[in-house]
A and B are shown apart, each in its own frame.
Chain A
Amino acid sequence: MILDLHSHSIASDDGRAKVENYCKWIRKKEVPIDGFVLTEHRQFDFAGDYAALARDFDLTILKASEVETEYGHVLVFGVTPALTERFDFGAIGLPLVRVIEESQHHGAIAVPCHPGRTKVGMCAHIETLGVPDGVTIVETLNGGSRGSEDESAQAMAAQLGYQGVGGSDAHIVSHIGRCATRFPAPVRSETELVEALQAGEFEALSWK
């Protein structure tokens, strides 16, 4: 089971892709993924219902969030209504450790993304803020990475013992599936995704 764990639709302020067109693109271009996770910026898209699209295109379509902390951007998988009451998803500069702890408490998991990126990635902030507690997984392959950003992420993960996932960070249709994560068993729901990440059996992939 291969899922692109990081994508944005028109629900994000800088997203330009309709979810249906991601589905069409994956099938038309035979993109080798079984589904994708919508990680909208600074929000959780409660309104979006993609069950019919998932059925019509035989794809897994899950929802998550990308929030902003003092260590940079962080994907939160397994978001629940109760979790969205615990901190302001729209805020800038959330305390990362609190995001991690609240996520754990509500059955979710927080994953710093594109950590090698300047300003919005975790690597640079560790130099000034120290190593945060509670991180177990980071995004080591990001479809939008430039230069040595992925290499920096992978070096940090190796040094600190983090596992790595992959995601395209697609904002336009044709970028979906450039990076993804392989799981050993099917993942059909947000709950199963959290369980699969907690199990630690996954592999980051790239087709860039």
Chain B
Amino acid sequence: MTIARFEDVEFGDDLPTFDPDTGMENVRRFAKAAQMMAARFTDHEGAKKEGLAGAMVPGVMSQAILAAMIHRWAPDADLVKIDTIFRAPVMVDERHHVNGVVTDLNEDERTAEVDLTVTNDAGETRVLGTATVKLP
């Protein structure tokens, strides 16, 4: 479901969730485009040599995934601010889930505050944050 106008949104609304492609091929594609071709992102063995449990999704890619969720929900909205806190690595080739929920509305500004999370199959929050979205 997409929303078009501020009036379509209520406090507590869930944004449509989706499972982003955090497989190695897609992460390598992102890393190449973002000029971040480092082993910690693109190679499990290379990442382990750096002391990591495996390759991890770049933080900026996680943020981009969260931004994409907002644009899927509200295609005509402006993303005024997105603020992410990285609690734990988002591991490449593990399944993740992206969620958002409306936690504040400003009628004067026609903005919505949205809580954002990236969780794994164990239900662990790997990334959390908030966004401010200005709606038509």
Instruction: Mark A residues whose CB is within 8 Å of B.
Output: 14, 16-18, 21, 24-25, 28-29, 144, 146-147, 171-175, 208
Contact = CB atoms under 8 A, between A and B. Distances in A.
22 contacts: A14-B85, A16-B115, A16-B130, A18-B104, A21-B103, A21-B113, A25-B103, A28-B11, A29-B12, A144-B87, A146-B87, A146-B124, A147-B122, A171-B85, A171-B128, A172-B115, A174-B101, A174-B103, A174-B117, A175-B115, A175-B125, A175-B128
A24 B11 contact: yes
Nearest to A25: B103
B83 interface: yes
B70 to A, nearest CB: 15
Main SS class of interface, B: strand
Contacts, number: 47
Contacts of B125: 144, 146, 175
A147 B120 CA distance: 11
Interface string B64-94: 0000000000000000000101011000000
Nearest to B87: A144
Nearest to B128: A172
Query: By CB atoms of chain A within 10 A, which of B87, B117, B125 has the most?
Result: B125
Contact of B12 (A25, A146, A172, A208): A25
Contacts of A172: 103, 115-117, 128-130
Contacts of B85: 14, 16, 171
Contact of A21 (B104, B116, B128): B104
A176 to B, nearest CB: 10
Given A16-B83, A16-B130, A21-B103, 15 more contacts: A16-B115, A16-B129, A21-B104, A24-B11, A29-B12, A147-B122, A171-B85, A171-B128, A172-B115, A172-B130, A173-B104, A174-B101, A174-B103, A175-B128, A208-B123
A120 to B, nearest CB: 12
A173 B117 CA distance: 12
Given A21-B103, A28-B11, A173 B115 contact: yes
A139 to B, nearest CB: 17
Contacts of B113: 21, 173
A146 B11 CA distance: 28
A146 B101 contact: no
Contacts of A17: 103
A155 B128 CA distance: 28
Nearest to A29: B12
